[in-house]
Amino acid sequence: MDNIVASAPGKVILFGEHAVVYGKPALALAIDRRFRCQVSHSEEIYLDGKIFEPNKHPYTYFILSRYWPQRGLDIELDSDIPSGSGLGSSAALCVSLNAALMALRGEEGEGLCAKRSFDAELGVQGSASPLDTSVSTHGHGISINLPNGRHLWDIQHEDRRWSVGHIDVPEMTLVVGYTGVHAPTGPLVAKVRRYYDHSAFAREIIDEIESVTIEGEAAIRAQDMVRLGSLMTQNHKLLSILGVSGRELDRLVDASLMYSYGAKLTGAGGGGSMIALTDRPDDVCEAIKLHGGTPFVVHTEQPGVTVQKKKRL
């Protein structure tokens, strides 16, 4: 019997996290940290060799109940994206599991995999955008609701519509600084939603993030690293005003700025990770270490989800 192995990348967000939940534009890049999911037929559902416990694994449960109901499956998961790190671990789990199940069911299509994976994030978190799941599916760089990307697919939920496009990204060196603080996305998205629903000021900040994102996309196209970095730092300040940064994140951003074009938190915030755009990666890594973070250089221009069928011996 066949084993299916699917692998999907994590991500960094250059611009637009949180604002994208409200249909605003955003830009994200796939990185060279991946989530792997291996599945094969079985009598019962097993996860990593143990009987599956649905309440411990909400994303997996959501996907299995929709696309593999009442059936057994042997699932093995393996990841080098720390969970709750802001680097897209839950999205990459959803994408790799959906892609593996699609292969078992004889289904195809990047757009279908991205949509199903978004549904899982939305179902589990209550509020989400298709940013993380789309970049993990497609890889490389993606834009949301920006006119210049090559159009990939549209995703709609209630009155929100997200047009997903491929963007070409110039070569750039990004250093990630992981705070070590586990920060699940759902509660942070809910916190911003409460603020957004009740405060005109919060809605203005979201509009400002939109303007910075539009300018950021132009800076990428112009390959203007100085402008790009300064817009990233501006985006970080706006996210801090929204209340999703934190002491650890601000410390790592400030420490990196001396050797960077710019730096910002990436993902939902509250902990998790920040990124710095730099041509002095060693100095930035040292500064992040000195200030209590775990640094690593990430490489962009990574492929999206891949699926392999392996014959069992």
185 binds ligand MEV (CB under 6 A): yes
Piece in contact with ligand MEV (CB under 6 A), picked from 100-108, 125-133, 150-158, 194-202: 125-133
Choose, by CB under 6 A, the member of 30, 174, 189, 255 that binds ligand MEV: 189
Cβ distance to ligand MEV smaller for residue 15 or 259: 15
Q: Does 128 bind ligand MEV (CB under 6 A)?
A: yes
List the one residue from 74, 110, 119, 132 that touches ligand MEV (CB under 6 A): 132
Q: Smallest gap, in angstroms, from Cβ of residue 269 to ligand MEV?
A: 7
The answer to whether 115 contacts ligand MEV (rule: CB under 6 A) is no
From the list 27, 131, 242, 288, which residue makes contact with ligand MEV (rule: CB under 6 A)?
Answer: 131
Q: How far is the CB of 202 from ligand MEV (least distance, A)?
A: 14
Q: Is 18 in the site for ligand MEV (CB under 6 A)?
A: yes
- 3-state SS track over the chain: CEEEEEEEEEEEEEECCCHHHHCCCEEEEEEEEEEEEEEECCCCEEECCEECCHHHCHHHHHHHHHHCCCCCEEEEEEECCCCCCCCCHHHHHHHHHHHHHHHHHCCCCHHHHHHHHHHHHHHHHCCCCCHHHHHHHHECEEEECCCCCEEEEEEEECCEEEEEEEECCCCCCEEEEECCCCCCHHHHHHHHHHHHHHCHHHHHHHHHHHHHHHHHHHHHHCCCHHHHHHHHHHHHHHHHHHCCCCHHHHHHHHHHHCCCCEEEEECCCCCCEEEEECCCHHHHHHHHHHCCCEEEEECCCCECCEEEEEECC
- 132 flagged as catalytic: yes
Candidate ranges 95-103, 129-137, 248-256, 280-288; the one touching ligand MEV (CB under 6 A): 129-137
- Interface ranges with ligand MEV (CB under 6 A): 13, 17-18, 20-21, 128-129, 131-132, 185, 189, 267-268
